[in-house]
Chains A and B, each alone.
Chain A
Amino acid sequence: MALPRALWRRHLPLGLLALFAVVVLAGCAGENYPQSTLHPKGDFAELVDAVFMKTVWWATAIFILVEAALLYAIFKFRGKPDDPEPKQVHGSTVVEIIWTVIPAAVLAFVAVPTVQTIFKTAEIPASSPDGQKPLTVEVIGHQWWWEFRYPELGIITANEMHVPVGRTVDIRMKTVDVLHSFWIPQLAGKRDLFPNRETRLWFTAKEAGEYPGACAEFCGLQHGKMLFYVMADTPADFDAWVARRMQDSVTVVPMAAAIPSDTVGPAADATGLMDTLTVSPMAQAAMDPRVAEGEKLFLTKACAGCHSLKAVGGPPVMVGPNLGGIGARRMIAAGWMRNTDENLKHWLQNPQEVKEGVLMAGYTLSDAEAEALVAYLRTKQ
């Protein structure tokens, strides 16, 4: 053992230090970490970051001082087996009082901003930085996807929350099943969702961008794939998005009549199928015959039993996410997969393979059928 021991002793501390340095530096470099808590892009997250960084500096200072004292003692007081007995010191009241008081003082410096921040973050600002009333968004947790509602706008959407930059968002949350936790690291901290109690959170996005978020409370089988995005749009973009959602809903489809009535299952009836049937201008314009085919399949394959395509005025409670605007969403399967045609097709044909245990079963779609559905959904911008 002689060789490794000597080797370790000499090179280990240096090696470890280098490793620490690499890790620390890697963590500090910005842009590659879209879900980072260290790069706040919203006011709530900034408040939190400020108090966190204060704590980090105190902690680092204490860490360095105490570890240094420890190392110093270790190196300074090495003894040999037959050294005489060292001086027998039993303690020192003065020293002990000092090292009780100093940490207490340090903690006071941490405690004050902590309490200040607790109260600052607890209060939803009465008005946004842009002077408007905060925008209310209701977050509803489902195993394992997110529903977002804008009561003032009447919009229902899923897995992708759009918010205008500069306007405070007043978030109210509930879950329909088990606990979840809404977490959007760059904009705000997390808050849990309860079935019996509305919880709240707020934030104002300061920069336009796409911010990934995640469910942060263990909620069963697919907790790991319960992600979402917050899209912070410029006010103009946000208005455009709202307008598109409104459009999802304006034209009630004449095409519905074209569907043979026997293919409209009871499930569709029960959930107000006729209401959900809408056609965007784009779909009408589309020449692709697959779109019409897809629309038909959407009705006949029971999709409409769980999904509404109507972002405004659709049925309030659905098993599956609202698909209004699904064609333009960044991700599918609750933030897990890029919304490419290929992925979407895969999802439709075999959702269980992507996300075992989701309520959406396989619906035996042939390639052609799946592609038709994809084409159809793609028109929902």
Chain B
Amino acid sequence: MAGHADAAHSNAGKYIQIAVVLFALTALEVALYEVCYGGLKTMAPGLGASLEPWFVEVLLLLSAFKFWFVAMFYMHLKFDMKLLSWLFLFSLIIAVIVIGALIILFGYNRGLWWPGGKW
């Protein structure tokens, strides 16, 4: 039922555009790695050095974009019932809470976040 309706909204052209974006973002991710740590480091040392402190953040941001594109367009969330988006989003929120909390808690336990964190 719902499935037939979406087809009208998106078409091959759009899918191709998104595919291109996804590839571009992936290429950016790899390039970022190469500039900061890999083969390109020597070629553009200044760029690498300035990007390096943001490596993790930028990488996560780029992947988040990719994630969003696939979910919204390939998985039709943008055109389907809102409920499905909420379903997915809620799961993701809990997932992020779990990952984030565990990283923080273990970092703390290992004394990374708080001087007395040893105990």
| A residues whose Cβ falls under 8 Å from a Cβ of B | 122-123, 197-200
Closest to A191 in B: B119
**Which residues of A are found within 8 Å of B116, using beta-carbon distances?**
122-123
A139 to chain B, nearest CB (A): 13
Q: Is B118 an interface residue (CB 8 A)?
A: yes
Q: Is B10 an interface residue (CB 8 A)?
A: no
Mark interface residues in B87-119 (1 if CB within 8 Å of A CB, else 0): 000000000000000000000010000001011
B81 to chain A, nearest CB (A): 30
**Which residues of B are found within 8 Å of A123, using beta-carbon distances?**
116
**Which residues of A are found within 8 Å of B109, using beta-carbon distances?**
197
The 6 closest A-B pairs by CB, nearest first: A200-B119, A199-B119, A197-B109, A198-B119, A198-B118, A122-B116
Tell me the count of chain B residues lying within 8 A, CB to CB, of chain A: 4
Docked complex Cα distance between A199 and B109 (Å): 10
**Which residues of B are found within 8 Å of A200, using beta-carbon distances?**
118-119
- Offer 9 A-B interface pairs, CB within 8 angstroms, sorted by A: A122-B116, A123-B116, A197-B109, A197-B118, A198-B118, A198-B119, A199-B119, A200-B118, A200-B119
Docked complex Cα distance between A198 and B109 (Å): 10
**Which residues of A are found within 8 Å of B119, using beta-carbon distances?**
198-200
A194 to chain B, nearest CB (A): 10
Closest to B119 in A: A200
B58 to chain A, nearest CB (A): 33
A138 to chain B, nearest CB (A): 13
A182 to chain B, nearest CB (A): 13
Closest to A123 in B: B116
B114 to chain A, nearest CB (A): 10
Docked complex Cα distance between A100 and B118 (Å): 38
B111 to chain A, nearest CB (A): 10
B89 to chain A, nearest CB (A): 27
Docked complex Cα distance between A272 and B15 (Å): 77
Docked complex Cα distance between A52 and B116 (Å): 25
Docked complex Cα distance between A120 and B94 (Å): 32
Closest to A173 in B: B119
**Which residues of A are found within 8 Å of B118, using beta-carbon distances?**
197-198, 200
B37 to chain A, nearest CB (A): 30
Docked complex Cα distance between A198 and B110 (Å): 11
Docked complex Cα distance between A344 and B119 (Å): 38
B60 to chain A, nearest CB (A): 29
